[in-house]
């Protein structure tokens, strides 16, 4: 299982597909879910002097929209990764897909 530790882990993966294979609702990742295909559309560096952080944006089908929670995603290069995904307000979606965001951050040592 890959642990999302750095932006470099996702660098160059924009445009590739991640498959949601499980959900953490209401607790552990033990409920079957999906598969739902999400496209990684954008990565963003959020690092500051005190925080290492980054954001990932995914787009998925509106007919399979889901709530904020932990999800297990599978990617052909990265492998499996667990992310807390949140639907994000997208007032003008270009293709009627749902936008999701994951933010990963930690204090610098």
Residue 102 CA to residue 100 CA, distance in Å, equals: 7
Give the Å distances, CA to CA, from 4 to 21, 40, 58, 62, 104: 17, 14, 15, 26, 7
Q: What is the pLDDT tens value at each position of the chain, 109 positions in all? A: 666 678 888 988 999 999 998 776 655 445 556 689 999 999 999 999 999 999 999 999 988 888 888 888 999 999 999 999 999 987 777 788 899 999 999 898 7
Token pair 């996702």 is found at 10
Whole-model pTM: value is: 0.86
């Amino acid at each position: 299982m890959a642990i999302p530790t750095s932006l470099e882990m996702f660098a160059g993966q924009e445009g590739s597909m991640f498959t949601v294979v499980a959900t953490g609702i209401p607790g552990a990742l033990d409920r079957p879910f999906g598969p739902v295909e999400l496209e990684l559309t954008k990565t963003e560096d959020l690092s500051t002097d005190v925080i290492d952080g980054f954001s990932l944006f995914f787009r998925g089908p509106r007919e399979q929209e889901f709530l904020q929670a932990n999800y297990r995603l599978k990617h052909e290069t990265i492998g499996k990764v667990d992310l807390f995904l949140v639907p994000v307000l997208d007032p003008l979606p270009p293709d009627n897909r749902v936008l999701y965001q994951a933010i990963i951050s930690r204090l610098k040592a």
